[in-house]
A and B are shown apart, each in its own frame.
Chain A
Amino acid sequence: MSGLPIAWTIAKRELRGAFRPLLVVLLALAVGVATIATVGVSAESVRESIRRDARALLGGDLELESANIPVPAEELGRLFGAEARLSTTLRTTALVTGPDGRRLAVALKAVDGAWPLVGAVQLDPPLPIGEALAGDGAAVEPTLLARLGVRLGDRLRLGEASVTIRAVILREPDRLGGFAGFGPRLLVSRETAERAGTTRPGALLRFEHRAVVPGHDVDPIVERLRRLEPEANWRLRTASMVEPSVARFSDRLASYLTLAGLSSLVVGGLGIALAVSAFLASRRSTIAVLKALGATSREVDAAYATLVGLVTVAGVGLGLVVGQLLPFLLASGLGRLLPVPIEAGLQPRPLLLAGATGFLTAALFSGWPLARAREISCASLLRAEVVPLSGRPRWGRLVALGSVAMALVAVVVANVERPRLGLLFAGGAILTVVLLAGLGRILLGLAAELLASAPLALRLAARNLSRSASGALPVVVGLGAGLGLLVTIGLIEVNLRDELEMRLGERAPSHVVIDIQPDQWVPFERLVAGTPGVVLLQSAPTLRARVTRIKGEPIDRARIAENVRWTVDRDRGLTWQASPPAGTSLVAGAWWPADYAGPPLVSIEAEVARGYGVEVGDTLSFNVLGRAIEAKIANIRREVDWAAGRLDFVFVLSPGVIDSAPHVRIATLDLPDRVAPAFLDRLARELPNVTPIEIGPIAREVVATLEKIGLAIRAVASVTLLTGLLVLVAALVAARRRHLQQTVLLKILGAPRRQILAVLSAEVLVLALLAGTVGILAGGFAAWSIVRFVFGTSWTFAWTPPLVVLAATTALALAVGAATAWRFLGHSAATALRAA
């Protein structure tokens, strides 16, 4: 471009006076880009660490998982090859009793002498694992000590045996599968588990058979096992399958956090537009002089685009540096949450995406004012007043801006894991800005009407803000969006917590009892009946089974929606019933007759039916303890409300199909606090293998996890509020000349400083309140939509989150406004007059 050298010269010189007015551009970009880059680099580091430690996470090169019964040793030898090193672990839920009688459901893991095949277990004190588990030894997670009030060396009752706590588990390899258990980890040897009686037939057991093969050459073995898998009673997992399954959760969370970061960049974009516009308006005379001296529109355009470009490079650069460095600080925290240590490293891809997002945002939002600036005529030198830039850019420039917008959407889509989510965000962001702008315009008009007869300060504020060039609208939209996001998150959290607490208090059972053997059912019922106050709410027989085919297609070839994939990932609980469970509502088909004894039929939940693409009459195949069963879908039930705390199953089979297979019963109880100790005592004495699990602590754990995720989302959303405040600063900078003129006028007319401060602060106060109203309305609507239609739960409006957010923002805005006003007030009328 021929104009570049002179453009560069002018830009470089103009930069001397541009740093302060364009500081908002730099900060808005730095904050937005840093957020997106931090999330991106952290997510990539997590992914890389998982990839690096995939074998350790799996605990070997290969794993076969079987439910209820182990794969015999000789068969394992045949499957993995004679030279493979093998280890089998057992996982189940069990109940332990402390020395003072306190009980706790634990995630029991029983390991053999070969464990762990890959990676190392870290214990405190640092004992070898064999030594820690020898005899009746056990290692526990730290939370177990706190919840049972026990210490190292104490003894715990486990089923029919006792164990001694020898060590605390600091890090456990192959913890990946550990999510399936309730409560903290209790690690014992296989022998101890046998002695305790936890492995009796029918108990809900999960066996994990791991292998390390010579040279880690797994491909031929995997190929062979894949062929056998559809008809086998085990599921194969390889190290290469570990990463996607672990990364799915972190990627999803990263996607939402990235979108929150993008929101801050969009809001920051409004600040960028406002700051660039105000800066160029202040340079109207310089641009006109340049043109009078013979600069072409193109040279002027190139000069100021270069100038904004330099500030953009600084802002994006700063954001990228922070975004690359911050994950190093976050790595240790992330490492505590995840099963592998996280090592942050240089991650070019997320940095590239974050940088591209920053540049395109800057180009899009500064493009409009820049396009208008090139149209400034040198005739404006003849007209002394400072007026804001106005007019529509040329068509060519509009097309270019449209292309930048499309490129930005493409980069947004590339930033998140699922393209649909990115497109939804882009569409949503545009719609939100349009809606918020409409709402803001209405509110600004209303404020001007309502405050027409208010005291002077408010009257002036309303009049100033309702002027088209006041910059109030971008502030209301930007700040309103930031506030709205926080209000949305706050209200959703309140509603979810209320819902959980209400359900736990009113409808949910207090305990779920698992592992009741068929021959223990009668004694169990007798025990319940014999304890006044205890109510048996529900019970059902259950065993573990796996879906193998959908409409005859093996599941690895069937089309299964992402949201129901969990139903085929591993063995799931299955039940059978003669009559429909209480409260069942069918959306298709009919329940089988109570005395039905024909070929297998299955009842399936509606969401899963949709996800599988099946209807009544289609078939599903299950692998039940190695036996293949094909069942015809007889009916489809309304979606299961898992939050209701009822016993519910995705698949319910007709009776007579699998009743004879080894199974257990599970039951839900309402166990009031006053009778719980006595009942649980008798249960532990009479049916020691039966495990009661208290719902309250689990629900509290769920709430705590939700709160942790909420905290991360809230932190990123706060960045949006911060950029919203930057938009406010940009508007105040843009209004500086007007404020100065107003201050001079008021000073000359004899207004004391207090009164001038009131006039200037009233403008900020009205702005913050308008933005707050927009935020509460928009955030309330968004939260209501999500709670009612996404979660499908009842809605209550809580005033605390919006009011806290509004009060904090108003206070911050007033502080920013007062700091700006104070600078004007410090000068004498004469100094202010000269400056104006």
Chain B
Amino acid sequence: MIDLDDVHLTLSSPAGPVTILRGVDLEVEAGATVSVVGPSGSGKSSLLAIIGGIERATSGRVVVCGRDLGALDEDELALFRRRHVGILFQAFHLVPSMTAIENVALPMELARRPGATARAAELLEEVGLAHRLEHYPAQLSGGEQQRVALARALANAPDLLLADEPTGNLDAETGREIVELLFGVQEQHGTTLLLVTHDARLAARCARRLAMDAGRLEEASPTTAGGPSGLVTAGGR
């Protein structure tokens, strides 16, 4: 599902170039649940962005769902995300001018899938928001917004679900609810889940745990052989 080989990321800034990732290797098989923990600024979110085709690696090879992302242009990357990837952000990133149902229908409409609105209603029902279909993001609580975002991330039945601090902006109780929902739908759909978090307890819910520190990725704990994580290798050069 994911195959990273010696991935580097350096961004330019007014103060000069900043190195974010320093030779990341990672292999993840389909259906796995993987968490990445690490301090702020360690490069966790950037790793997620590279896997989702949101950010381009400065060097190294990035193969996701069998596609070499380095060979795709911006629009091909967009089409790749449309078909294969669902993303859950810490800040929800719902479109403020669209209602809950419109936000969820949007990825399906972009993919020209028929019955987008009906399917969006089903997904919102799945995340417990059947009564909030016509509400705008500003009219929803943080937890509700993240549920909408989760429904939207699942809309095109992605092969890979990327979650960037999905509970970071939520209180503990709401965060727990979202986590239950996230793992519930992952299990139900068999989606590969890559989760970036500060929260050690949340990370522990994943079969495989990785740690990111100063742009290098390391295995956080051994995995059970033959378990659902499907880990092969992870390391930083």
Which residue numbers of A lie inside 8 Å of B, CB to CB? Answer: 6, 9-10, 13-18, 285-286, 288-299, 377-379, 381-382, 384
Contacts and interface: CB of A to CB of B under 8 A. Distances in A.
Contacts of B109: 6, 9
Contact of A382 (B55, B83, B96, B107): B55
B78 A18 contact: no
Interface of B: 45-46, 49, 52, 54-55, 74-75, 78-83, 87, 89, 91, 93-98, 102, 106-107, 109-112, 152, 156
Contacts of A291: 78
A573 B111 CA distance: 82
B54 A294 contact: no
A18 B97 contact: yes
A296 B75 contact: yes
24 contacts: A6-B109, A9-B109, A13-B95, A13-B97, A15-B97, A18-B97, A288-B93, A289-B95, A290-B110, A291-B78, A292-B52, A292-B54, A292-B87, A293-B81, A293-B106, A293-B107, A294-B80, A294-B110, A294-B156, A295-B78, A297-B75, A379-B54, A381-B89, A382-B49
A290 B75 contact: no
Greatest chain B CB density within 10 A among A15, A290, A296, A298 is at A296
A615 B96 CA distance: 76
Nearest to B89: A381
Nearest to B97: A17
Contact of B102 (A13, A298, A382): A13
A483 B113 CA distance: 54
A737 to B, nearest CB: 14
A299 B152 CA distance: 19
Contacts of B55: 379, 382
Contacts, number: 77
Contacts of A299: 110
Contacts of A384: 91
Contacts of A382: 45-46, 49, 54-55
A9 B98 CA distance: 10
Contact of A381 (B54, B83, B95, B107): B54
A298 B46 CA distance: 25
Nearest to A383: B11
Chain A interface, >50% SS class: helix
A288 B52 CA distance: 13
B197 to A, nearest CB: 16
A285 B74 contact: no
Given A13-B95, A381-B54, A293 B82 contact: yes
A285 B45 CA distance: 17
Given A379-B54, A382-B46, A6 B81 contact: no
Contacts of A293: 81-82, 87, 106-107, 110, 152
A6 B112 contact: yes
A142 to B, nearest CB: 62
Which 5 pairs from chain A and chain B are nearest by CB? Answer: A294-B82, A17-B97, A296-B75, A294-B81, A293-B107
A381 B75 contact: no
B187 to A, nearest CB: 24
Contact of A294 (B46, B49, B83): B83
Contacts of B110: 6, 290, 293-295, 299
A301 to B, nearest CB: 11
Nearest to B45: A382
A378 B45 CA distance: 13
Contacts of B81: 292-294
Given A381-B54, A382-B45, A382-B49, A294 B78 contact: yes
Contacts of B52: 292
A461 to B, nearest CB: 25
Nearest to A17: B97
B75 A298 contact: yes
A17 B96 contact: yes
Contacts of A294: 78-83, 107, 110-111, 156
Contacts of B54: 292, 377-379, 381-382
Greatest chain B CB density within 10 A among A13, A15, A298 is at A13
Given A293-B106, A382-B45, A285 B78 contact: no
Contacts of B46: 382
B78 A296 contact: yes
Contacts of A13: 95, 97-98, 102
Greatest chain B CB density within 10 A among A292, A295, A377 is at A292
